[in-house]
Chain A
Amino acid sequence: MTESRVHHKLSPKEIIVGIFRWFLIIFFAAYTLFPLIWLTISSLKTNFEFLALSPFALPAVPQWQNYVNALSVAGLGRMLLNSVIVGLLATVFNVIVASMSAYCISRFRFNGREKIYTLFTAGILVPLNALMVPYFVIINKLGLYNTYGGMVLLYCAIGIPMSTFLIRGLMDSIPMDLEEAAYIDGCGFYGRFFHIILPLSRTGIVTAATFEFLTCWNEFVFANLIVSSEKLRTIQVGIRYFTNQFSTDYVSMYAAIVISIVPSILGYILFQEQIISGMTSGAVKG
């Protein structure tokens, strides 16, 4: 549809709209790229340059040493890997459980449905910091302190209300008669879920998965609370290696952040190409 519009003569109004459109596109791009550029430049300064001179000046000599410092943190690679493992596993379990419950809540009128949905909604709002003590006890009682399992379970669990909410929102928009038709054709509960609803809800599932993964990736409080072994530390712990209440090595911290961003951006690009595009153009089976 875009192509057909390109060739006819543009009216002044269309030109103004076009300029405005590009202004917005570029403004938002600059707004989001600026932090990344600033961060990279800051990661090449000395602490003196960063603290005592203008924070927006360029470094006199690029300090690659900061990257050496950042990489010297024992097991930064391991931390990245841990974040990926925990994040992916928690996300997979999370969206499986959440899409199952979202399906039930969205498609069936059973007793207590509204109460359950209210419970999920309230769950989104719980400030998790308040739950440090109970979560610590639960994870310990389950024998999962200091294990991948504990982190995966906790991350999967805390994201359930949000994921259910996101997936249910999408499932609600799928017309009921589609499923009813399948039902009349003799398609069972599982068949309808796997062959009709799940493929049609991919947008919601991907939204929930992205949200869940980012939550895991950025989570620090519980990662620190329920794990003690260095082998299980996640990248957020690594980033904080250079911050200390009494002496922060800002520039090395920025280098560590840049290092930690690279895989997530690459991951995102891969993720979006593979999944978002597939999701929006894929054929749907009925």
Chain B
Amino acid sequence: MKPTRSDRSALAAFMAPALIIMLVFFVIPVIYVVVVSFLKWNGISTASFTDIQNFAKLFNDKAFVRSVINNVIWALVAGFIQVPLAMVMAIILSRKPRGWKFFRTVYFFPQVISGIALATLWRAIYSADTGLLNGLLRSVGLGSVARDWLGTVDTAFPAVLIYWVFYVGYYMVIMMADITTIDTSYYEAATIDGASDFQQAIYITIPLIKRTSLLTCITLASVLGLRQFEQVYMLTNGGPANTTSTMVLYMYKKLQDTNYGMASASAVVLIIVGVIFIVCIRALFNIGNDEVRAQKKVRRAVK
């Protein structure tokens, strides 16, 4: 809609609070970060300009390159494995099987449990000697597979990633709320035509949530994947040999080293990688295209 003249002032009033906040808490601080990314500074002594040396150092550091790769993998797994899993569960639960409210609540629990607790539990599960996973493997005669899951180069990153993929509650709740707004007459008609639950999910549910909650969840999950810090920090602290490091963890360690220049440079890289990632996802869903957006989605609520 093109704003009319009378809308203009209202529009300005509506945008103002968000814009002021963005200016004070994002634009100015990020300018600060960009400036510091070209400096050599420990926060105490005088800073000196170093050209693009911080960025050069970053890309010469295997740990950082590994972090970027890990984050991209994380974002892809989150967006294209975790979210689809969440979608499957959302579709199943939105059919309201027995106890669905209970399950919907339970699936959300990990979001409210402190990250420290989740990390300690999974450390214990993956542990080499007393770990639950190794115990399970040994009891089914696969003792040769047992290992120090978080202390082996090949398994540490998959181990950190996999346990977390199955915590789908948050995305599931978002998509369930969306699915329940779909007009039930669609399903009724499909059932009369003899469509199976599976066919109904493929031809009705998914197309109707694709550009709303599914896209939202995929973007959200990818962004959180790119910003991943807490779980890795508490589970492995980036080890062994930096193989599980992520960009934010890397940045965090540089802050500890009072290496403000490289820390800021890695923050800048993270923002750039992230923007590219989001643009790609939007292109994939063909969003931003007005014709597509104009395609109307019929919802019960709108009728």
Contacts and interface: CB of A to CB of B under 8 A. Distances in A.
Interface string A82-109: 0000000000000001101101100111
B28 A276 contact: no
B255 A129 contact: yes
Nearest to B100: A25
**Which of B2, B22, B28, B118 is packed against the most chain A CB atoms within 10 Å?**
B22
23 contacts: A21-B92, A25-B89, A28-B89, A35-B109, A35-B117, A54-B130, A56-B124, A101-B15, A108-B3, A116-B15, A122-B30, A122-B271, A126-B29, A130-B251, A158-B25, A169-B212, A169-B216, A178-B302, A203-B213, A210-B173, A250-B120, A264-B112, A265-B112
A189 interface: yes
Contacts of B170: 210-211
A132 B169 CA distance: 31
Contacts of B19: 101, 116
Given A134-B32, A203-B178, A207-B216, 14 more contacts: A28-B107, A32-B107, A33-B109, A35-B109, A108-B2, A110-B8, A123-B22, A126-B267, A157-B21, A165-B219, A203-B177, A261-B113, A268-B105, A272-B104
B117 A207 contact: no
A150 interface: no
A73 interface: no
A1 B191 contact: yes
B87 interface: no
Given A1-B188, A54-B130, A108-B1, A164 B110 contact: no
B81 to A, nearest CB: 14
A55 B124 contact: yes
Interface stretch (A62-70, A226-234, A252-260): A252-260
The interface residues of chain A, by DSSP majority, are classed as helix
Interface residues of A, number: 106
Interface in B233-287: 247-248, 251-252, 255, 263-264, 267, 270-271, 274-275, 278
Contact of A39 (B28, B105, B121, B247): B121
B18 A160 contact: yes
A60 interface: no
Interface string A183-194: 100001110010
